[in-house]
Structure 1
Amino acid sequence: MSQHPISRIRYKYKEIVLVLLLSSILCLTRSRAQYANYQPQAEVGFGLGTSHYFGDLNPEGSLNPMNYSAGLFYQRYLGNYIGARLSANYIHLAASDADNKAPAYHNRGLDFTNNVLELTLTGSFNFFRYAPGTRGHSFTPYVGLGIGGIYTDPYTETGQGEKVSLRKLGTEGQYSSTPHDGRKYGSFAIIFPLSVGVRQALSTKLNLFAEATYRFTRTDYLDDVSSTYAGPEAFAPGNYKGNAAEAASALALQDRNLDGVARKRGWQRGNSLASDRYLTLQIGLSFNFGSCNCPMVY
């Protein structure tokens, strides 16, 4: 028995609808895969922000005084989640006992400034899949951990505005033949940066980020303060290894008390049990380049 013409039309209509539906699904899936697979291969960026010192001249760990920092970085992506980053930063650190309300610290009368130059290598991990320009994958919090080195040279200013390098004077008796607790330190130190941040893609090429980075250091002399007073005898002729002018400057700067009580050898000057640390809070922009349609890991 031959099929009714109307039935044949209905059957063909169903076939056409099914083919169109399957084709649409295939096209959408292919389009989504191409769109989702977009990711940059690398990025370069810069950040500006604040810097905060924690050490013997800020024993309470206050965020004040607030100073400034600036940095550049290059990051190579190893996928949507992992990256390797090389960073260079300029970090201005400073603190003064004059800002401390506790009499014991205020009367100590010490201060320092340090223009730290920093180079670090870190690995970063995105908590969310990050593919700039892809809906649902343009934002992520991230963390980073690495190792680096800094150039450090703490100094103070005299009443005439002259900058005096404290490291070269050995204010804790480093260049004296008398007994002392101060340790010699150089202009280079190792640090371990720990970063926490958020990144938002503004487009496939441009990102906005905010980042906090805390540095654990292997030095207690970012501020030139660590152990005990060496005493006036450490800077006397015959005991001090520098010239007369350096000896006089070291003697004046090792004890800058405001209460008129001269500190004797062995009196506590700083806390040698804890290394100095510092923090930066920065916001900035980064630029993606070398984009590719790389497979995403689901």
Structure 2
Amino acid sequence: MKQFFTHILALLLVVSLVASEANAQQFSKRKQYNSVGVSLNAMNYFGDIVPKASIPSLRFAATRPNIGVNITHRFAPRISARVALAYGQITGDDEKAADKTDPDARFRYHRNMNFRNNIFEVSAVGIFDLIANRNNYIKRPDFVPYVFAGVAVFHHNPRGEVRGGDIAGTGVTQGAIVNLQPLRTEGVDYALTNISIPFGGGVRYKLNKSFDIGLEIGWRKTFTDYLDDVSGVYIDQAKLGSAEARYFGRGITRTDDGTFINFNVPGEMRGKGNEKDWYIVTGLNVNYILAPRVKSPKFR
């Protein structure tokens, strides 16, 4: 899977560079233009708190909204660059995602972890149109499929909901929403600002002279395994410095009869550990083309 995505990114880069070089001399500045847009999206996540312990597994009921704004500049018949800001949420819940009757998912059900994470993202991507527009913006094609890839910086903050309260003698309040990163539940002080690799594809439709509407799906390959605050193993309870840390860090395990017990075996698996987390953004975007100003020739 990793090699597949690596090859896709490499191919997009090579094709974009070749096409840009071949078309740059043919595409005058008069035909270049900018557009601004807004997007309304659905956001999902791949990580440790999903139905199956694999990247393609996600729980559609955990879908959350994402909104964004962007500005795009067209450089060549097939090449554009886009800068975007986006804000959305991802979430996961062992109680709802893991099937306790499935031997492969039973551990995750009893682990009983949950999280929600608001993500603010700034991205810059190159867009390669599969149908070229060698004319000005007015004569652009009606329907254009495209692919994109680039780089993004995102800020996140995973939080968890306390469930079970004082049943386990933790001293934390039932229903409290707690910031998880400061708790160091696995003894790791991970960063809340990270880099990701956005890539994907979409289709764009010309509504009229000035407006395009499109559908797009984009994956974000991150370099952190802590979007959900779950990655490695349980650590010694003595290293957990607060009631909230002991609650989330030692594991409040749900039993088959619905009660809660402590689960704290240092070194016992808490997360998969060998896969980084991903998030995916799918949605609708509307773009308004800023008509370029054409300078009239001066005659003397």
Q: Secondary structure at the match of 2:132?
A: coil
Task: Confirm or deny: 8 A CA contact 2:207 2:213 kept in the other structure.
Answer: yes
Q: Aligned pair 1:228/2:233, yes or no?
A: yes
Q: Aligned pair 1:256/2:255, yes or no?
A: no
Could you report, residue by residue, the CA deviation over 1:135-173 in whole angstroms, capped at 9, with x for unpaired residues? 7x222101110011110110012354432100011111x
Equivalent residue for 2:195, pick from 190, 193, 200: 190
Q: Secondary structure at the match of 2:209?
A: coil
Could you report, residue by residue, the CA deviation over 1:168-201 in whole angstroms, capped at 9, with x for unpaired residues? 11111x2xxxxxxxx3212101100002000111
Consecutive unaligned residues in structure 2, runs of 5 or more: 1-28, 100-104, 164-173, 256-260, 295-300
Rounded Cα–Cα distance in structure 1 between residues aligned with 2:234 and 2:191: 20
Task: Confirm or deny: 8 A CA contact 2:117 2:227 kept in the other structure.
Answer: yes
Equivalent residue for 2:217, pick from 194, 212, 216: 212
Task: Confirm or deny: 8 A CA contact 2:32 2:76 kept in the other structure.
Answer: no
Q: Aligned pair 1:87/2:91, yes or no?
A: no
Q: Secondary structure at the match of 1:107?
A: helix
Deviation at 1:79, TM superposition (A): 1.7
Rounded Cα–Cα distance in structure 2 between residues aligned with 1:81 and 1:63: 36
Aligned to 2:274: 273
Aligned to 1:69: 66
Aligned to 1:125: 128
Amino acid at match of 1:167: Q
Amino acid at match of 2:159: Y
Relative to 1, partners in 2 of residues 1:290 and 1:44: Cα closer, same or farther, differing over 3 Å?
same
Deviation at 1:134, TM superposition (A): 2.3
Give 1 or 2 for the bigger CA radius of gyration: 1
Equivalent residue for 2:36, pick from 44, 69, 75: 44
Rounded Cα–Cα distance in structure 2 between residues aligned with 1:167 and 1:228: 16
Compute the TM-score of the two structures, normalised by the length of structure 1: 0.75
Aligned to 1:169: 183
Could you report, residue by residue, the CA deviation over 1:75-109 in whole angstroms, capped at 9, with x for unpaired residues? 11102210111011112100000121022111110
Amino acid at match of 2:194: A
Task: Confirm or deny: 8 A CA contact 1:185 1:221 kept in the other structure.
Answer: yes
Q: Quick one: percent identity of the two aligned structures? A: 26
Rounded Cα–Cα distance in structure 1 between residues aligned with 2:142 and 2:292: 15
Q: Aligned pair 1:153/2:157, yes or no?
A: yes
Task: Confirm or deny: 8 A CA contact 1:41 1:292 kept in the other structure.
Answer: no
Q: How many equivalent residue pairs?
A: 238
Relative to 1, partners in 2 of residues 1:291 and 1:203: Cα closer, same or farther, differing over 3 Å?
farther
Amino acid at match of 1:47: S
Q: Secondary structure at the match of 1:168?
A: helix
Rounded Cα–Cα distance in structure 1 between residues aligned with 2:247 and 2:236: 11
Task: Confirm or deny: 8 A CA contact 1:142 1:196 kept in the other structure.
Answer: yes
RMSD (CA atoms): 2.0
Aligned to 2:6: none
